Amino acid sequence: MQAINHCSSKLWYDAMKDKWESISNNKVWDFVELHNEIKPIGCKWVFKTKKDSLGNIERHKAQLVAKGFAQREGVDYR
């Protein structure tokens, strides 16, 4: 979590908040109860600094991604 401990951590928190609001507003995920035999997958935040053509920072971007997961049709999605 170097980004969160960095001096610009407020910018990274804001980027995570913006991404989470986008996920919620677009109804990307549904939270459901899992069966006992199903192991939940983990997720992690990936951070990227977007720069313009001169190398100036334009924005801080956060993406929430699944960790080590390969989807199987009919098992993980329909």
Instruction: Tell me the per-residue pLDDT of 46-55, one tens digit each, with 9 for 90 and over.
Output: 999 999 999 9
Q: Note the pLDDT of residue 5.
A: 64
Quick: pLDDT tens for 4-62: 566 678 898 999 999 999 999 999 888 888 888 877 878 899 999 999 999 999 999 99
- Domain ranges within the chain, ordered by starting residue: 2-30+40-66
Q: What is the pTM assigned to this prediction?
A: 0.66
Of 59, 35, 39, give the one whose Cα is nearest residue 48: 59
Q: How many CA atoms lie within 13 A of 63 on its CB side?
A: 8
Structure confidence at residue 56 (pLDDT): 93
